[in-house]
Each structure stands twice: as structure tokens, then as C-alpha cells.
A = this chain, B = another copy of it.
């Protein structure tokens, strides 16, 4: 944890931004809830527990800044809100998501999986890939089980 905060601090400094107390509190929430996919509002409420005086606008500004520096990725699962997802330490690409259409849970896939596809896109479409977003919609293990039992 402290190690990752240090690293993020350095990334900010490298672009001559400071790790203010508000920014640090926000980053800590993101680290503590790394496997979740929180909206700005969610994050705001959690940060308020550590730093009650923080404003919602500051949370938005911090998330915007962290997005620019590629420390977090902004994603959209089709409900009305943006969600913010910490990049995995040292990951070259954004990870993938499995969204269950029945219970709404979101599972992560850290494996690349797209190496071959990207090569094809670069070769056949002559498109220079920098990043990607891949989300599968379907039925999670748990709901499959539940459905089987109810039959």
C-alpha cells in the first residue's frame, strides 16, 4: 500500500503535480477498493470518511488528473455513471470485465487475451493500437448455478 502510494506520488511529481492530502485520501480509497468499480459519488462518500471536509468537485478533479496520468481508467458499463478503475501495477493494457446480466456483478480478467487480435488489427486494418476496452456481457458462474437449481 505505502509502496504504491509512493510510486503514484512520483508519477504525479514527474508531471509536476503534488500529492495533496485530498488526492492522497482519494488514492487510498481506490487502493482499498481496488477490485470494485466505484463511481465518483461512491468514491466521494468513502473519501469523506477519512477527510470529511473534501468537496465533490475535488474528487472529480482528482479522478480526472489520475486518468490523464493513466493511473486510473475511466469506464462506462452503460448505467448512467462513469466508473474509475485503478490500473494494475505495471500493466501494459487495461484489463477486461465480465458483467453479469442477471446479478450485475463485475469480474475482472487480468490476462491479456487480445495479443493475437491486436496483431491482426495492426496488420489487416493498419490501425496502431494504443489501448482497448473489452467487456463481456453474460451470465456469471453463480447465476448459472442458481438457474440450474431452479429448473
Binding site for B on A (CB under 8 A): 74, 76, 78, 98, 101, 107, 109, 113-114, 116-118, 120-121, 125-141, 144
In the bound complex, do residue B133 and residue A135 qualify as a contact, i.e. CB atoms below 8 Å apart?
yes
Could you tell me the distance between the alpha carbons of A130 and B113 in the complex, rounded to whole angstroms? 18
Contact partner, A128, options B107, B114, B118, B144, Cβ 8 Å: B144
Copies of this chain, tallied across the complex: 2
A138 / chain B contacts, CB cutoff of 8 Å: 127-131
Separation in Å of the A76 CB from the closest CB of chain B? 5
Closest to A130 in B: B138
Separation in Å of the A77 CB from the closest CB of chain B? 9
In the bound complex, do residue B128 and residue A137 qualify as a contact, i.e. CB atoms below 8 Å apart?
no
Known: A98-B121, A134-B132, A134-B134. A127 touches B140 (CB 8 A): yes
A134 / chain B contacts, CB cutoff of 8 Å: 132-135
